[in-house]
A and B are shown apart, each in its own frame.
With several copies, the nearest count.
Chain A
C-alpha cells in the first residue's frame, strides 16, 4: 500500500489519464538520465528502482505518454 500511496498525486480528483501522464514524463526523464549514466538502455526494473515504483506500475504509466498511434510512429520515430 505504501507504494500505491506514493503513486497517488496530490489531488484525488485528478483524472488518471492526466496523472499517469505526469508519471510518464518522469519515466522518460529517468530513462534519459539512466541511459547516460549506464551507457545503455536501462531495464524497466532500474527505472522502477529510481522512481520507487514497481515495474508493473512503470508499464502502466508509460502507456499514457507513449501511445503508438501508428506503425510508422512506433518503428521510425
Chain B
C-alpha cells in the first residue's frame, strides 16, 4: 500500500487533538490494533505539543506541518516547525530533560516517541526550526506479536 498526506495548521493548542485524530484516521487504513493507534496518537500529541509550546512558544500565528506516508507496511510521520529550534538535541532527548519545568512539562516527550516508534530522527537548528521524523514498521510489530 502506498499513500501519503500533508497537513498544516495554526500553532494553537486546540489543534493538538485535531492533529492526533487526523493522523490516526489516516493510519487506520493499514488496519492497526487499538494499541498501535493509541501509540500513534500519543507520539503525534507529544511532537505537536512540542512544536506549539517549545518551537513557537504558543505564538498562534505560526504554522505546524505534518507529513504522513505509508509505503507497504512502513509508516513515517514528519512533524515540523519553523520555530526557535533546539541547541543540543542529545540533551533534549534525555529522559526527564525539560527546558520548561515551570509549565509542569515532564521531559518525557522524546522518550515516549522513542519507546513507541521504531525510529525517531530529530533535525533541529536554533532559529530555523525542528523536524521530527517518526518511523514504524507495522509488519515487524505484527510478526513480533504473533
Measured between C-beta atoms, what is the minimum distance from A3 to chain B in Å?
9
Q: With CB as the reference atom, state the residue of chain A lying closest to B19.
A: A56
Q: How many A-B residue pairs have CB under 8 A?
A: 105
Say whether chain B's binding surface is mostly helix, strand, loop, or mixed: helix
What is the interface size of chain A, counting residues whose CB is below 8 A from a CB of the partner? 39
Say whether chain A's binding surface is mostly helix, strand, loop, or mixed: helix
Contact A75 B21 (CB under 8 A): no
**A16→B21 CA distance, assembly (Å):** 13
Q: Which residues does chain B contribute within 8 Å of A68, judged by CB atoms? A: 41-42, 45
Question: Quick one: given A9-B34, A16-B31, A43-B32, are A63 and B106 in contact (CB under 8 Å)?
Answer: no
CB within 8 Å of A: which B14-41 residues: 17-18, 20-21, 24-25, 28-29, 31-38, 41
Using CB atoms and an 8 Å cutoff, list the residues of chain A in contact with chain B.
Answer: 1, 4-5, 7-9, 11-17, 19, 31, 40-45, 47, 54-60, 62-63, 66-68, 70-72, 74-75
